[in-house]
Amino acid sequence: MSWFTLDPVTRKRVHRFRRIRRGYYSLLILLAAMVLAVFAPYLAESRALAVWYKGQVYLPTFEYYEMKAFGQEPPAAWDTGEIETEDNVLVIRRIHVAMRLVAGAELKDKIERVHGMYAMNCPLYRTLHKAIELTSSYELVAHS
């Protein structure tokens, strides 16, 4: 018993189409490409699909895991206070931009004036400042 039956005219058309090898193989290649395209985000992901660690299976593509789950600690250089998790989703709450400017001390007044007004003239800041706390600071470094 088959899942569906084709009437004789349709069956004849399908048989004739399968005899045209170029068209039939093109259809198979197209269908394979479509199936591959559906799963492409998972195949090209930079995270592992599955991880076996200490007798447990983890699926990092589908769920976020802290580094501590795998017995690791974040490096001391990482400041993880700016990114938080909310319902297992990473959420950026704050962004701090620290600038290191190489200039002479005679430009300090001009740099302070520009630093005070550049935020509201920055398109990215104007877009995000109501959703994310954005701050900036600068360090003036003398010419070497």
Task: Enumerate residues 6+ apart whose C-beta is below 8 A from 144.
Answer: 102
What pLDDT does residue 81 have?
Answer: 57
Q: Mapped to the 3 state alphabet, what secondary structure does the chain carry?
A: CCCCCCCHHHHHHHHHHHHCHHHHHHHHHHHHHHHHHHHHHHHCCCCCCCEEECCEEECCCCCCCCHHHHCCCCCCCCCHHHEEEECCEEEECEEEEEEEEECCHHHHHHHHHHHHHHHHHCHHHHHHCCCCEEEEEEEEECCC
What pLDDT does residue 106 have?
Answer: 87
What pLDDT does residue 79 have?
Answer: 60
Task: Give the Cα separation of 7 and 21 in Å (integer).
Answer: 23
73: left (phi over 0), alpha (psi -120 to 50) or beta: beta
Q: Is 39 exposed, middle or buried (0-12, 13-18, 19+ CB in 10 A)?
A: exposed
pTM for the model stands at 0.40
What pLDDT does residue 24 have?
Answer: 92
Each residue's pLDDT expressed in tens, for the chain with a length of 144 residues:
467 788 899 999 988 999 999 999 999 999 999 999 998 887 777 777 888 899 989 988 788 888 888 888 876 656 655 777 888 888 888 888 888 888 888 888 888 888 888 888 888 888 888 888 888 888 888 876
If we measure between CA atoms, which residue out of 19, 14, 25, 21 comes closest to residue 6?
Answer: 14
